[in-house]
Structure 1
């Protein structure tokens, strides 16, 4: 058996590091996405305390039976938890939640190209830093300027976060060998899931115990602190890192193919016109639709339809994402093992993971909508929904690095940017589809999501790939086997 050339992750490389530097970079990437998502999602939760609740009249003759609304949970609320002072309609709330994705869409491709050209470090670092500032100033923006000023700040936050995934993809292509891509790549990307968990769980506690602005102050400050640490401990390339061990540097040099000269211009035509790229874009759109419906609207579904209290909402909204994070990490480890042992090709592993992560969530969210007011059953089905979405990060999400290590930032920017269209339109569409916030209205939302994400999984299963494409400068013709 061939000896594994990887250096031990626990080896001592200098007095200044306890982990290999590729692991340090992956952990900082994980935290970058985690804090970015807490900034993004905190509004989805805080808005349930900002707005005047929906006025439900009991004893109406709408003949809706149990589908309309569940009994309100009888839990004493904190005095700090206000009943809402802003008369924002469901549709205006949708505009507030979706405005983030307008900026997010605009900055994706420029951010990806910039990260490919100059490197990932400052693109990623400043993106998280500006996002944190926008979060910190959100309370004063709401107080002074109201809903439309908040929309402007949310757009700016979206502009700052657009380059995060493209820049992090460039970081992974520079620091992580293909045989560890499933493990360390999914670790980085799973920061989005943990960010949702932290945002939901901590927001519930903060909103229960303190005034609503503290939710924004807390999460925004963490992003700014992260920026300072990131600038000090992360470097652009293994060759320029002063504290990397010689063994790790040699390992990365031997396992990561890099260009010795300047990159050629981006091959836009072959990149954009390939069926592989089309499958990546369709898959991203479908996944992001289901994902954004869940992350932006699940707190409202828990509050408006299931009638959970503010404390219970935070706990039960977080549980599905705990399941998703566990599935993400396990699927990443499994993907590396499957590929390393030759049990499945990289392409087939990516297709299988993506398909499971499409059909499973769509199926379970629809079933959950038929569980009525059985709150524990609904939460259990939503946990299964998000658990089956976890393998997505060991599937299509790694495509940008798989298809073109040299232009991974650009490919990620195009796919993630197009996927953000779902983030722009889904909250507004959901708001328009659920004007009364009833169970029947939400059931239609879940059926539409099922159709969209299932189609996207099928498309990637047909045309997707995990192989380096011919337009990438590092592409090598496969060696023909001689018998």
Structure 2
């Protein structure tokens, strides 16, 4: 019998698959939309930033709601409303032009905003602490979360391209939206916010998880910490100031911002790069655009085996988190740094480099993203909400910076790619120095720096 927590991780994978599919539909139909509308480079940058703009405002409250109302309820509402927005995007475009589409895409981002912090809360209720000699289920669960993103990013390219060719770009949006509503029904039937709420979990697994899941501090302990005041006391930002300012937290946040700046560049701008620089139509570039997502998916699938290998070699949990994060960012940066210099070669050469970069970005779920579940037991939703909000800042300004740079430098893609490399190298350096795996509320309460 499949463990209930395994089913929950597969369901969570599905939520991210459909979220990413809805999010990336615009990226893949922009070329088709140009046949109906005049879309400048600046307009592309603005449209690609629309979802991230809406995403920015709802993540912290979404994480707090997941802590209080249950992650299943928040996820259900977010997915349902996102699907409705996806269905309405072309209608908004027909009646109000690009401005109308931008507003609906931003609304889609706003209702999707709670999904990352809610996913972190969901995993914290289901994934047990790793024991010596046993698999790190937290890293596996986080990998499943990102595998959903990779599968969605991969499948949406041929799906939307085929739909747009056969039915038009408007119906491509609608088909993706209705398919997402179908998954919402499955989620409602099977998902549970915690083992106690699951209708098909075995008693044996429930007992195991009750013994092994991280337990937040008791109310009496929280009251004592609050009464003590200082860095460990509760604050209006939803966590103690000492936790909010800890270098270990900002090591994770810095990596998250760099990840969104780099990995989402590949997703958002690759279709434009292949058309404008390599001279390939969407149909010709289809498999080139898919390959980086394939390599990213393969990397994420292999990470559990790599985690086990490092554990057998004596790597501590902290050393493992650093190894995945730092090596992934370094190798991705090196791959991207030389992409544009190969533009005169066979198109499969830059595709291979893009694919290598995205494969190395695929190590992130077992690095800094898993670290979200290490650094707190008390403030999972709030910390994840702030982290993804900061990551969203990169998602908002990244497309705009890229568009502005291309306009100001006469389409100099070397500068664009160089900026991505620099940001990721800086984040890797900071993470190597400051990352921690002990809950920050414990470190702050004990007065330790790390």
Instruction: Give the alignment's TM-score, normalised by structure 1.
Output: 0.84
Alpha-carbon offset, residue 342 of structure 1? 6.6
**1:24 corresponds to which residue?**
7
Of 294, 297, 302, the match for 2:274:
302
Of 195, 199, 210, the match for 2:156:
199
Of 112, 123, 140, the match for 1:183:
140
Residues 408-434 of structure 1 show CA distances to partners (whole Å, capped at 9, x for unaligned) of 121111111101111101111211222
**Distance (whole Å) between structure 1 residues aligned to residue 149 and residue 254 of structure 2:** 21
**2:307 corresponds to which residue?**
335
**Distance (whole Å) between structure 2 residues aligned to residue 298 and residue 437 of structure 1:** 18
**Distance (whole Å) between structure 1 residues aligned to residue 424 and residue 80 of structure 2:** 32
**Distance (whole Å) between structure 1 residues aligned to residue 102 and residue 88 of structure 2:** 13
**2:384 corresponds to which residue?**
412
Query: Counterpart of 1:137 in 2: which secondary structure?
Result: helix
Identify unmatched segments of 5+ residues in structure 1. 1-10, 12-18, 52-83, 479-483
**1:98 corresponds to which residue?**
49
**2:190 corresponds to which residue?**
233
Say if 2:260 and 2:391, in contact at 8 Å, map to a contact too: yes
Of 352, 367, 371, the match for 1:395:
367
Alignment of 1:459-474 (within 5 A): 459-471=430-442
Say if 1:103 and 1:158, in contact at 8 Å, map to a contact too: yes
Identify unmatched segments of 5+ residues in structure 2. 131-136, 223-233
Of 319, 330, 339, the match for 1:368:
339
Say if 2:87 and 2:173, in contact at 8 Å, map to a contact too: yes
User: Is 2:351 the counterpart of 1:379?
Assistant: yes
**2:246 corresponds to which residue?**
274
Query: Counterpart of 1:167 in 2: which secondary structure?
Result: helix
User: Is 2:21 the counterpart of 1:50?
Assistant: no
**2:413 corresponds to which residue?**
442
Alpha-carbon offset, residue 259 of structure 1? 4.1
Alpha-carbon offset, residue 261 of structure 1? 4.9
**Distance (whole Å) between structure 2 residues aligned to residue 293 and residue 437 of structure 1:** 18
Aligned length: 426
RMSD over equivalenced CA pairs, Å: 2.2
**Cα–Cα, structure 1 residues 46 and 278, in superposed 2: closer, same or farther, change >3 Å?**
same
Say if 1:182 and 1:333, in contact at 8 Å, map to a contact too: no
Of 165, 179, 191, the match for 1:208:
165
**Distance (whole Å) between structure 1 residues aligned to residue 239 and residue 83 of structure 2:** 35
Say if 1:138 and 1:216, in contact at 8 Å, map to a contact too: yes
Say if 1:176 and 1:184, in contact at 8 Å, map to a contact too: yes
**Distance (whole Å) between structure 1 residues aligned to residue 217 and residue 315 of structure 2:** 32
Alpha-carbon offset, residue 201 of structure 1? 2.3
**Distance (whole Å) between structure 2 residues aligned to residue 307 and residue 413 of structure 1:** 40
**Distance (whole Å) between structure 2 residues aligned to residue 407 and residue 472 of structure 1:** 14
Say if 1:132 and 1:223, in contact at 8 Å, map to a contact too: yes
**Cα–Cα, structure 1 residues 476 and 167, in superposed 2: closer, same or farther, change >3 Å?**
farther
User: Is 2:67 the counterpart of 1:116?
Assistant: yes
Alpha-carbon offset, residue 330 of structure 1? 1.0
**Distance (whole Å) between structure 1 residues aligned to residue 292 and residue 214 of structure 2:** 38
Residues 88-146 of structure 1 show CA distances to partners (whole Å, capped at 9, x for unaligned) of 21101111110211111111111111111222111111111111111111111111110
Alpha-carbon offset, residue 189 of structure 1? 2.1
Relative to its length, the structure with more helix (as a share) is 2
* Structure showing greater Rg: 1
Of 141, 155, 163, the match for 2:92:
141
Of 420, 423, 431, the match for 1:452:
423
Query: Counterpart of 1:204 in 2: which secondary structure?
Result: helix
Alpha-carbon offset, residue 184 of structure 1? 2.2
User: Is 2:261 the counterpart of 1:289?
Assistant: yes
Instruction: Give the alignment's TM-score, normalised by structure 2.
Output: 0.90
**Cα–Cα, structure 1 residues 229 and 449, in superposed 2: closer, same or farther, change >3 Å?**
same
Single out whichever of 304-313 and 31-40 deviates more from structure 2.
304-313
Alpha-carbon offset, residue 178 of structure 1? 2.6
**1:129 corresponds to which residue?**
80
**1:314 corresponds to which residue?**
286
Say if 1:332 and 1:391, in contact at 8 Å, map to a contact too: no
Alpha-carbon offset, residue 472 of structure 1? 8.4
**Distance (whole Å) between structure 2 residues aligned to residue 127 and residue 342 of structure 1:** 42
**Distance (whole Å) between structure 1 residues aligned to residue 16 and residue 153 of structure 2:** 10
Say if 1:279 and 1:464, in contact at 8 Å, map to a contact too: yes
**1:217 corresponds to which residue?**
174
